[in-house]
Each structure stands twice: as structure tokens, then as C-alpha cells.
């Protein structure tokens, strides 16, 4: 390839969000990659499988809380008619429980799911409007930090759902920034429903992120496959090991990819050579776990007043309702 055109294709790759992130992460110390890189088509399908694993209690515990308390949650939130908004809604499988409760409360409901995946939103719209004729679904393809202000709630109380422990994948300072940004787009009195995973026995946490069937390992390793496919990298997946660690200090599960040998990787699209020592890791995800006090303080620092909390009987997961003030 001619030098000038090699440069321009290099620049094009680096300038994509994927290229920028991979360059930043693999030239940094320690090496890391952002968790959003997991969610290509295969990664999203693997994540769906994770949510059904026996060890991954997160999804089923939150669903059980919503099944038990949806009516209470809705009646606590609804000092006026409600409009529901969901951040990172995906296919919105758990939201049906809240929408059904909202319909029992007010007969008709408008639901605005926000997600970057148009196909997931279309699936959600079709499924929900078929099953719950009183619900009007108005999907919005956007990063969930954008676009909330543009939602016309027509004077109704907005109830913003941010469930699924998604807040746990943000660094604490980013979580505050995200919630503050959210608060700025709401009116005083609007509500936020946040689903968060609780600190629990280390053994349970580790099992949830290192399951026997190896689905989480495949989910983690898939990020390297993605870099091979999309950036022409030459990662040999057999020379890496999925590794989940509990950090007591940060109250978080960390996922890493550990290099089993000393090796050199080339990423042609970025013209980048990456050296890894044996035992060195690429840090791919943090999943923060909370105490109720820690979460309340996070909400307060972000302009929300915690109103109520619902928990399962083992205190493994909490759903917090907070009010913008
Ligand atoms: C999407 N997120 C809430 C999951 C979690 O539990 O942090 C992602 C995940 N990573 C490994 N297993 C699941």
C-alpha cells in the first residue's frame, strides 16, 4: 500500500470510537479495554446467556423484586400520571412488570425506551404493544446520556428506569457525572428507579463472573475476537485466560484477560504493536457492588433524594426509588 493511503486508512481506524478506545487502552499502563466493547452481536448474545446462568443471580433477583413490588413501586412514584423512560432499555424484558403495574394504576401509559440498538428497540416496541395494548412505545435510538431532555412528558411525572445493575459498570466519578447529567434533564419531583447489586459473600460474587459452563469466559474473550475481526489484530485466544477478581478495597468485581505467555500482538488498522508479559492482564470490566448507604450517598451527591428501597429476602440486590430535587 502506498504510504499516504496507509496513513489515511490508519487515521480512519484510529478515529472511530473503537479504534480510539483500543489505542488508548492497549497503550496505557496497566492495559485495559472499555466494557462497551463487549457488545457486538456475538457479545450481546453471550450476555443474554449470562443472564440465565445458575450462578448469575443478578437478573433473576432483580426480576423477582420487580415481580413482587411493581405495584408498590408505581404507586409510590405516581404522585401524578406517569410517563416511563428507560435508559439502555435493550429488549426491555423486565420492564413489562412495571408497565403492567402502571396500566393497573392509570389505564394508559407512554413508554420511551432509549438504547443504541435500533433492532432491540424495534423488538421491544412490537412485543410490548402487542402484549400490552394500553402502552404506547416511543423508542429513541441514542446513547442514554443524551436525548432525555427531548422527551415530551406532556406535564406528566417522568419515571426514569436505570435497572439491571448498569450503574455498576461505571467508575464512581463517572456514575456521579452520569446521574448529575440525568438530573439536569429532569424536573424537580421526577423519579429515578435504579437497580443495584449489593456487596455479598466473595464466593457468590466470583462464581457469578466465572461460571462453570464458561459463558462469561467466552464473553470476555470475545472482545479479542472482535479486535481480530474489526481491526485485523492477531490475538490467539488460546493464549489468554478469563480471570475474575473481587477487590475488597474498591467493592468491585474485576474482569481481566491474562496473557498465558510472553507475546507480541499486531493491530494493523492502528499500526500498533502490543507487548504482553506472561501473567500480564488486560483489564476489561469493573462491576461495582454497593451498600444501601453507599448508593444513597451517590444519589444525594447527584441531586436525587432516595425515597424508598426494595430488596429480595437475601439482600442480594436492591431497587432504589429516588426523587430529583
Ligand atoms: C451489564 N452488566 C450489569 C453486567 C454486570 O454484571 O456487571 C455485565 C457482566 N459482565 C460479566 N457478566 C455480566
Rg (CA), the chain: 21
pLDDT at res. 3: 43
pLDDT at res. 142: 85
Measured distance CA(26)–CA(311) in Å, rounded: 39
Q: 164 CA distance to ligand 1 centroid (A)? A: 9
**First CA to last CA across the chain, in angstroms?**
59
Residue with cell 406535564: 155
Ligand 1 atom closest to 287 (CA)? 7
Ligand 1 atom closest to 197 (CA)? 6
Q: Which one of 205, 251, 287 would you pick to mutate in the ligand 1 pocket, going by the greatest count of ligand atoms within 8 A of its CB? A: 287
Ligand 1 atom closest to 164 (CA)? 3
* Cβ 180 vs Cβ 269: under 8 Å: no
Q: Cell for 127? A: 412485543
Domain spans, the chain: 2-53+209-288, 57-200+290-324
- Give the Å distances, CA to CA, from 236 to 244, 256, 264, 270: 20, 16, 11, 18
Half-sphere exposure of 313 (CA within 13 A, CB side): 1
Residue with cell 392509570: 106
Q: For domain 57-200+290-324, give its CATH number from 3.40.50.150, 3.40.50.2300, 3.80.10.10, 3.30.70.240.
A: 3.40.50.150
Nearest CA to ligand 1 atom 6: 287
Query: pTM (2 decimals)?
Result: 0.93
pLDDT at res. 156: 94
> How would you write the pLDDT of the chain (325 residues) with one tens digit per residue?
444 444 555 567 778 999 999 999 999 999 999 999 999 999 999 999 999 999 999 999 999 999 999 999 999 999 999 999 999 877 777 899 999 999 999 999 999 999 888 888 999 999 999 999 999 999 998 876 676 777 878 889 999 999 999 999 999 999 999 999 999 999 999 999 999 999 999 999 999 999 999 999 999 999 999 999 999 999 999 999 999 999 999 999 999 999 999 999 999 999 999 999 999 999 999 999 999 999 999 999 999 999 999 999 999 999 999 999 9
Q: Is 217 helix (H, G, I), strand (E, B) or coil?
A: helix
Beta-carbon contacts of residue 224 (< 8 Å; ≥ 6 apart): 233, 235, 237, 240, 257
Measured distance CA(264)–CA(274) in Å, rounded: 6
Amino acid at each position: 500500500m502506498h504510504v499516504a493511503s496507509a496513513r489515511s486508512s490508519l487515521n480512519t481506524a484510529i478515529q472511530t470510537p473503537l479504534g480510539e478506545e483500543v489505542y488508548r487502552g492497549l497503550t496505557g499502563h496497566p492495559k485495559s479495554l472499555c466494557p462497551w466493547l463487549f457488545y457486538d452481536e456475538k457479545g450481546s448474545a453471550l450476555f443474554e446467556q449470562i443472564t440465565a446462568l445458575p450462578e448469575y443471580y443478578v437478573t433473576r433477583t432483580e426480576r423477582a423484586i420487580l415481580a413482587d413490588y411493581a405495584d408498590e413501586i408505581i404507586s409510590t412514584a405516581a404522585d401524578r400520571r406517569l410517563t416511563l423512560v428507560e435508559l439502555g432499555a435493550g429488549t426491555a424484558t423486565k420492564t413489562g412488570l412495571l408497565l403492567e403495574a402502571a396500566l393497573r394504576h392509570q389505564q394508559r401509559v407512554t413508554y420511551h425506551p432509549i438504547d443504541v440498538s435500533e433492532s432491540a428497540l424495534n423488538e421491544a416496541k412490537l412485543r410490548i404493544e402487542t402484549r400490552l395494548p394500553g402502552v404506547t412505545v416511543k423508542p429513541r435510538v441514542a446513547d442514554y446520556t443524551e436525548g432525555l431532555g427531548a422527551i415530551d412528558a406532556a406535564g406528566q411525572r417522568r419515571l426514569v428506569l436505570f435497572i439491571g445493575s448498569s450503574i455498576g459498570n461505571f467508575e464512581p466519578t463517572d456514575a456521579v457525572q452520569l446521574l448529575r447529567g440525568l438530573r439536569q434533564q429532569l424536573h424537580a419531583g421526577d423519579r429515578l428507579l435504579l437497580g443495584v447489586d449489593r456487596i455479598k459473600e466473595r464466593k457468590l460474587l466470583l462464581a457469578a463472573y466465572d461460571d462453570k459452563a464458561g459463558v462469561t469466559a467466552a464473553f470476555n474473550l470475545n472482545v479479542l475476537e472482535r479486535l481480530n475481526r474489526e481491526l485485523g489484530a492477531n490475538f490467539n485466544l488460546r493464549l489468554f485466560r478469563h480471570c475474575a477478581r473481587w477487590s475488597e478495597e474498591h467493592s468491585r468485581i474485576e474482569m481481566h484477560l491474562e496473557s498465558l505467555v510472553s507475546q507480541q500482538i499486531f493491530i494493523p488498522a492502528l499500526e500498533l504493536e502490543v507487548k504482553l508479559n506472561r501473567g500480564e492482564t488486560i483489564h476489561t470490566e469493573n462491576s461495582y457492588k454497593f451498600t444501601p448507604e453507599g448508593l444513597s450517598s451517590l444519589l444525594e451527591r447527584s441531586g436525587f433524594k432516595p425515597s424508598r428501597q426494595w430488596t429480595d429476602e437475601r439482600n442480594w440486590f436492591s431497587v432504589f426509588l429516588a426523587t430529583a430535587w
